[in-house]
Amino acid sequence: MNKILLFAQLKEQAGSNTLALDVSGKTVKELRDYLESETDLGSLTGIMIAINEEFATDETIINAEDVIALIPPVSGG
Amino acid sequence: MNKILLFAQLKEQAGSNTLALDVSGKTVKELRDYLESETDLGSLTGIMIAINEEFATDETIINAEDVIALIPPVSGG
Amino acid sequence: MDRYSRQILFKKIGESGQKEIGKKHAIILGVGALGTHTSETLARAGIRKLQIIDRDYVEMSNLQRQHLFTEEDAIKKWPKAEAAKNRLQQINSDVEIEAIVAQADEVLLERIIEDVDLLIDGTDNFETRFLMNDIAHKYDIPYIFGSCVGTFGMAFTIIPGETPCLQCLLKKLPLQGQTCDTVGIIAPTVQMVTAHQSAEALKILSGNRKAVRKTFVSFDLWENEYVSLKADALKSKDCLTCGEDCTFPFLQADSNMKVAVLCGRDTVQIRPVDGVPILLEQLADRWRSAGFEVGGNPFLLSIVKEGTRVVFFKDGRALVHGTKNPDEARKIYHSLIG
Amino acid sequence: MDRYSRQILFKKIGESGQKEIGKKHAIILGVGALGTHTSETLARAGIRKLQIIDRDYVEMSNLQRQHLFTEEDAIKKWPKAEAAKNRLQQINSDVEIEAIVAQADEVLLERIIEDVDLLIDGTDNFETRFLMNDIAHKYDIPYIFGSCVGTFGMAFTIIPGETPCLQCLLKKLPLQGQTCDTVGIIAPTVQMVTAHQSAEALKILSGNRKAVRKTFVSFDLWENEYVSLKADALKSKDCLTCGEDCTFPFLQADSNMKVAVLCGRDTVQIRPVDGVPILLEQLADRWRSAGFEVGGNPFLLSIVKEGTRVVFFKDGRALVHGTKNPDEARKIYHSLIG
């Protein structure tokens, strides 16, 4: 099982601060597509994705028990 | 082996940000005595001690691989 | 456009939270580095009333990290609480601000504690923090602890009846730890502590008690470290502040003159307990006619005697500079004020 | 006592670090919430020179989170850069402060970038951030990114040639994310971002490059979350800003009038690219004699036409309030200024 930490508006869209899903074996790109189609998170274009406290490229493969964080850029300042 | 995170003046006294020591089996009180006699940390009276991100009482027993943090109260403000 | 519109737009606060904030009253004890930051944030946020307490006056070496103060405040040696109030009222004239230029002792706190919703730590010593901790528990008021030095800081929100208290955490008054006057400090450290203190304050003041952080935060901005520690295990039934048979030990007043060496400042503070106000103008006249050089402003007098500078406040308190010897300080004090 | 004594006492800075800070020059782009905080910290810390750039003027709804500004600044609609400069000079008269009331575009940045040691992000939009990111890499200057909304914020220090850049992280200009004008913000969120930005700034300015944080920080103060993420894997050789064949795409200027809808503000900004200065007094006279109500100050004019308020700045730029329609805004603009 993978724990997915949600930040900013993603918390509201999911109605929760975290998700628990088994997404091991998928690449980060596949994860994006999967979450967009299977959850209420909406478009993940432009959302930064980290695995185990490290930003990951689209090709990175997710392992079992990896903790994933979805960080949306916000523009305020 | 236990990782011991040091904060504030303890970093300077140890000459390092962390220590790696096997202190499993000891209580927190025994840890205090041990560190005072076996390291350069000096007196640990009044230093707060956390184990795995949780403050611990003197009676708490340390397990293998526990991560320990030593937090000195500082008075500035 | 409402001045609080962006805070109201944040939906965990909203219109109802903003109304709550606008009804609340906080004491900020100490308006040095921490207290100038938290008082500015709460004044900007639209709190109803702030009482800001500080015994000290503004010096040039404060400006590096103490918001609200200017070079002019330092040149005039304006009392910190008064200088902070001036600026806070320019920022938000709707907030009721009371500046109290005094040592925060049990007598003062007992007198002003009625109707207070929150106590915020802006002090630089644990004696005062333990006093706040006792007062908070005696009157069931949340108390937001914070302290820092160098690039290291800590913050913890104490809710009487729920969380452990400062005595549970520290057991007894800490032996002298590091102070800003011995190892220095950079301003971002202060801001990191006050960001946490002010966020917790806004949760409490807006009626969002459930959102209050339960962990003790500690960080080092130079070493890029941040830890968040659960503290529940330290809550003690035997604690004299928050336990079953609490006696509030730090509210037991002495009855003598209090003399304190101010850590690292080469200064002794002398303070009569009952604080009979002294008449500054009359004293200044007397000293000038005796040939002393006397400076000051409506809030304090500064006098140099035998190379030692002494600053007197209206409540009879004095700071004796250039010494760490309480007896020497007492002697100079008595030689000037009888 | 030296005014920087507490910063010098912090031994990672010391006398030599303080001297370095006193030689340095930073640009703070945007003096809204983030920029007022970082500019205050660096002015108090004793930097040699600050250039602060902002196109906007102070409004009441800014005061809840934007330090340096007072009610009087909002009533007078003082430009933010000028209002910030006034206050910063009261805080530290030794710092050279240049207030630039203008849109920060490639022309302006190319003109002032010489001799700059650090770029600090105080802006509220990614278009300007990508511009800063390009300029930083073209001239090999560290750039400290920061942004926030609600109780969520992020900060990252970009060192050209070492770390990934903002384009590496975000790939392209983000689609509109959340803004302070759509979901609100509380002041402690700003302070948490600026505590990180200012700490990194002091490391860089004092010559402590090795201490610079390598991780991307992101937090939520309401949810009590804090993460620190390694970013190295995102550094891309193909990046157009920091890669092997960089073209700095955000420095390629348009040659037309720029019209921008300001996110969530119901306002359109119109700006001629060459920025021929307009003569405010002459315009005011002309409009008054045509029967319009005209307000303003030496830096801007405010006029109401057919229920729409338009504010003009000396560089020919205008803010058309009460509309999100660029064409409508253009029309009003042209009807007033030709």
Tell whether the torsion through CA atoms of C149, C153, C157 and C161 is positive or negative: negative
| C92 with D72: Cβ contact below 8 A | no
Provide the chain C residues 163-192 that lie in CB contact (below 8 A) with chain B: 169-172, 174-180, 183, 185
* Contact check, Cβ <8 Å, C33/B73: no
pLDDT at D274: 58
Residue C123 has a pLDDT of 93
* CATH class of the domain whose range is C5-251: alpha beta
Average pLDDT over residues A7-34: 95
- Residue B75 clears pLDDT 60, i.e. is over it: yes
How crowded is the C-beta side of D269, counted as CA atoms within 13 Å? Answer: 17
CATH of domain B2-71: 3.10.20.30
Residue D268, strand partner residues: D261, D320
Instruction: Return the pLDDT at A21.
Output: 96
Separation between Cα atoms, residue D282 and residue D290, nearest integer Å:
13
* Cβ atoms of residues D101 and D78 within 8 Å: no
The Cα of D111 is separated from the nearest Cα of chain C by a number of Å equal to 31
- Per-residue DSSP letter, C196: H
Q: Tell me: the pLDDT tens digits for D275-292?
A: 567 788 877 887 887 778
The Cα–Cα gap between D123 and C98 comes to 35
Task: Give CATH 3.30.310.10 domain extents, chain D.
Answer: 258-337
Distance CA C251, CA C104 (A): 11
CB-based burial of residue B4 (10 Å sphere; 0-12 exposed, 13-18 middle, 19+ buried)? buried
Q: Which residues contact C324 (CB under 8 A, 6 or more apart)?
A: C261, C266, C267, C268
Structure tokens at D199: 């700490």
Share of chain B above pLDDT 70, in %: 100
C-beta atoms of B45 and C175 within 8 A: yes
SS3 C194: helix
pLDDT in tens, D134-154: 999 999 999 999 999 999 999
pLDDT confidence band for D39 (50 / 70 / 90) = very high
Residue C260: CA count within 13 A, CB half-sphere = 16
**Is the confidence at residue D27, as pLDDT, over 70?**
yes
Compute the mean pLDDT over every residue in chain C, rounded to the nearest whole number: 91
Picking from C99, C197, C222, the residue whose alpha carbon sits closest to that of residue C144 is C197
Pick the CATH number of C258-337 from 3.40.50.720, 1.10.3720.10, 3.30.310.10, 3.30.565.10: 3.30.310.10
- In the three-class reduction of DSSP (H, G, I as helix; E, B as strand; rest coil), residue D305 is classed as strand
In this prediction, residues D126-131 reach a mean pLDDT of 88
Residue that wins the pLDDT comparison between A67 and C282: A67
Give the residue on B whose Cα is nearest the Cα of C178.
B74
Q: Is D220's pLDDT higher than 60?
A: yes
Give the least confident one: B25-39, D24-38, D296-310: D296-310
Q: What number of residues does chain B have?
A: 77
Domain boundaries, chain A: 2-71
Is D71 part of the contact surface with chain C (CB cutoff 8 Å)? yes
CA distance C261 to chain B (A): 15
**Per the structure block, which two tokens stand in for D188?**
């402690």
Confidence tier at D35 by pLDDT (50, 70, 90): very high
pLDDT score, position C263:
65
Residues present in chain A in total: 77
Query: How many whole angstroms separate alpha carbon C320 and alpha carbon C270?
Result: 8
More confident residue, C281 or C200: C200
Query: B23 pLDDT band (50/70/90 cuts)?
Result: very high
Domain with CATH 3.40.50.720 in chain D: 5-251
Phi/psi at C211 (5° precision): -80, -10
Bridge partners, residue B54, by sequence:
C230
Cα–Cα dist C82/D193, whole Å = 29
How does the average pLDDT of chain D come out, rounded? 91
Residue D217 reports pLDDT greater than 70: yes
Which of helix, strand or coil describes residue C309? strand
Evaluate whether D212 touches D202 at the Cβ level (below 8 Å): no
d(CA B16, CA A50): 29
| Stretch 228-257 of chain C: residues touching chain B, C-beta under 8 Å | 228-234
The pLDDT tens digits for C155-182 are 999 999 999 999 999 987 775 567 777 7
Question: Counting beta carbons within 10 angstroms of the beta carbon of residue D238, is it exposed (0 to 12), middle (13 to 18) or buried (19 or more)?
Answer: exposed
Compute the average pLDDT of residues A16-26.
96
pLDDT digits (tens, 9 = 90+) for C182-218: 789 999 999 999 999 999 999 999 999 999 999 999 9
**Residue C42 near residue D220 (C-beta atoms within 8 A):** no
Cα torsion for C107, C108, C112, C116, to the nearest 10°? -90
Residue C195 near residue D188 (C-beta atoms within 8 A): yes
Q: What is the pLDDT of residue C20?
A: 98
Mean pLDDT, range D296-308, rounded to an integer: 87
> d(Cα A1, Cα A21) in Å, to the nearest integer?
6
Answer yes or no: do D149 and A75 touch at CB < 8 A. Answer: yes
The interface pTM score, or ipTM, of the predicted complex is 0.90
Q: Name chain D contacts of A55, Cβ cutoff 8 Å.
A: 169, 216, 229-231, 233-234
C207 touches chain D (CB under 8 A): no
Q: Write out the DSSP string of A1-29.
A: -EEEEE-THHHHHHTSSEEEE--TT-BHH
Looking at the partner chain, which of C124, C174, C231 has a beta carbon nearest the beta carbon of B77? C124
Contact C220 B9 (CB under 8 A): no
Residue D83, token pair as written in the block: 């209002």
Question: Poorest-confidence range of C147-161, D171-185, D242-256?
Answer: D171-185
Which residue type does D228 have? S
Phi and psi, residue C34, nearest 5°:
-65, -50
Range with the poorest average pLDDT among C44-58, D78-92, D240-254:
D240-254
> Are C235 and C168 within 8 A, CB to CB?
yes
Cα separation, D163 vs D159, whole angstroms: 5
- The whole-number pLDDT of residue C67 equals 95
Mean pLDDT of D114-124: 95
Q: Judge whether residue C149 has pLDDT over 80.
A: yes
Query: Do A71 and D154 form a contact (C-beta atoms < 8 A)?
Result: yes
Cβ contact D316:D300 at 8 Å:
no
Which chains touch B (3+ CB pairs under 8 A)? C
* D255, pLDDT greater than 50: no
Contact B71 C229 (CB under 8 A): yes
Distance between terminal CA atoms of chain A? Answer: 36
Q: Which of C21, C37, C69, C224 to mutate to test the interface with D (most CBs of D within 10 A)?
A: C224
pLDDT of residue D64: 98
Residues D56-76 have a mean pLDDT of: 96
Chain C residue with minimum CA distance to B57: C234
Torsion of CA A42, A47, A48, A50, to 10 degrees: -10
Angle at C128 between CA C125 and CA C129, to 5 degrees: 80
What count of Cα atoms within 13 Å lies in the side-chain half-sphere of residue D206? 26
Question: At A45, which helix (H) or strand (E)?
Answer: none
The full DSSP string for D273-287 is: SS-PPP-HHHHHHHH
How distant is the alpha carbon of residue A7 from its chain centre? 10
Burial of C297 (0-12, 13-18, 19+ CB in 10 A): middle
pLDDT range class, residue C255, cuts 50, 70, 90? very low
Residue D287: what pLDDT?
A: 81
d(CA D283, CA D301) in angstroms, rounded, equals: 9
The yes-or-no verdict on residue C14 having pLDDT over 90 is yes
Joined tokens for residue C89: 């009222």
Better pLDDT: B63 or C114: B63
Report d(CA B9, CA B47) in Å as an integer: 11
In Å, what is the CA distance from D136 to each residue of C157, D41, D110?
Answer: 41, 22, 11
Q: Mean of the pLDDT values across residues D265-269?
A: 87
User: Which helix H or strand E contains C310, and what residues bound it?
Assistant: strand C308-313
pLDDT digits (tens, 9 = 90+) for D228-249: 999 999 999 999 999 999 999 8
